[in-house]
């Protein structure tokens, strides 16, 4: 997962290993930090951070339901 940049809207592709997803990511520089928010990306496969508008996309799309 690449670091979010709140100065410019961007798209970040995440994988299942990045879940649970939160923004800002651990690797984000201190100057770009905002309150940590956990984002539920599984149902739709994409989500926007309400603080910095970073667009996260789940590789492979939304989680499949079923057994």
pLDDT at position 32, please?
80
| Least confident interval from 4-8, 17-21, 54-58 | 4-8
pLDDT digits (tens, 9 = 90+) for 15-55: 999 999 999 988 888 888 899 999 999 999 999 999 999 99
Q: Tell me if 67 is assigned to some domain.
A: no
pTM for this one?
0.76
Q: Tell me if 41 is assigned to some domain.
A: yes
pLDDT at position 9, please?
65
Number of structural domains, the chain? 1
Q: Tell me if 5 is assigned to some domain.
A: no
* Selection from 10, 2, 13, 67 nearest residue 41 by Cα: 13
Any residues with CB less than 8 A from the CB of 26 and at least 6 apart, and which? none
CA atoms of 13 and 4, how far apart (whole Å): 11
Cβ atoms of 54 and 4 within 8 Å: the answer is yes
User: Domain range for residue 49?
Assistant: 11-58
């Amino acid at each position: 997962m690449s670091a979010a940049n709140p100065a410019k809207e961007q798209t970040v592709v995440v994988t299942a290993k990045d879940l649970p997803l939160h923004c800002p990511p651990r690797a984000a520089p201190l100057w770009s930090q905002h309150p940590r928010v956990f984002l539920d990306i599984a149902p739709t496969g994409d989500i926007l951070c309400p603080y910095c508008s970073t667009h996260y996309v789940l590789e492979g799309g939304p989680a499949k339901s079923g057994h």
